[in-house]
Structure 1
Amino acid sequence: MDRENVSATLTIAEPAARVFAVLSDPTTHSAIDGTGWVQESADRAPLTELGQIFRMDMYHAGHPDGDYQVVNKVQVLDPPRRIGWLTGQQKGDGEMEFGGWLWRYDLVALSPPQTEVTLSYDWSAVPPHIRQRGIRFPPFGPEHLGNSLRHLAALMGARSDRAR
């Protein structure tokens, strides 16, 4: 772990384009999430453009509301090699505020059709006013990223089985 970024890498026995298609589908994110916090996508459209907003319904026992919703803004999009988004919230006045943390997947096509997938969580752009709230970064244990990648691999395997 570097000071303001954590990552994990796993090789998945699927072509990069298929892995990217799953990652760009917000309806799969709850199945991929390694914490169990992501409950369901509130937006069902595939992620296809920079700046695209998508929302996720969340649950965390440590959150003041328990159930809450996050907004995500696509920040990195280079099919089928990279996809990433900033996470934030929509304030009462409708304005969106992003906290400066970025989720990013980097995909490297390997042969035979396999993909090396690196999941990163980067909080280096979190501004001082958010850091002063006492939020711990990262807000999850070190196993989360690896769990997420294993869930992605299992989901890819289940989709391959259905396709056969």
Structure 2
Amino acid sequence: MHIVDQENVTATLTVAAPAEKVFAVLADPTAHAGIDGTGWVEEAVDQVPLTEAGQIFRMGMHHDGHPNGDYQTANKVHVLDAPRAIGWFTGYDKGDGHLEFGGWFWRYDLAPLGPSETEVTLTYDWSAVPQSIRDYLQFPPFGPEHLTNSLRHLAELVSGR
């Protein structure tokens, strides 16, 4: 199930695994290409596990609609509350080492439903995106089914399928 609001979209799925195991997969950037429901994430450039708010990790991406096709995102962890929540802002390196973030973020909230099940809610929020970016990018840049696909991929990774 997914819900689209004016400024965000969410999807929720029950995963047959404890919250600690689900969180460990989400905190591993090398798993993100396997989780991604859009098919845009290709590989983790930074492969160190996510351990604290403020941490930066980069992902190699591909999108046919992007001017370069292949590109890199810089992501800044803004919430890390193991094993309950993890989220990051997505941006890019302006080329001079300065990172710029557009105002959108990804967040996973985990709620244990017992020793071997976790309800996972994925939110994509663009409420802080300035009008100057909204003038040339449509939000969300994908259909809401991509969040549900991501949660299904996460469930498969966690279960080892």
DSSP-derived class of the 2:160 partner: helix
Work out the CA distance in 1 between the residues paired with 2:41 and 2:112: 28
DSSP-derived class of the 1:10 partner: strand
What is the root-mean-square deviation of aligned Cα atoms in Å? Answer: 0.9
Is 1:5–2:14 an aligned residue pair?
Answer: no
- Deviation by residue 1:15-64 (Cα, 9 ceiling, x = unmatched): 00000000000000000000110000000110001100000000000000
Is 1:126–2:133 an aligned residue pair?
Answer: no
Counterparts of 1:1-164 in structure 2 under 5 Å? 1-132=4-135, 134-158=136-160
Deviation at 1:81, TM superposition (A): 0.2
Work out the CA distance in 2 between the residues paired with 1:84 and 1:67: 24
Work out the CA distance in 1 between the residues paired with 2:144 and 2:83: 26
Deviation at 1:112, TM superposition (A): 4.3
DSSP-derived class of the 2:20 partner: helix
Normalised TM-score (structure 1): 0.94
Deviation at 1:128, TM superposition (A): 2.1
Q: Which runs of 5+ in 2 are unaligned?
A: none
Identity among equivalent positions (%) equals 69
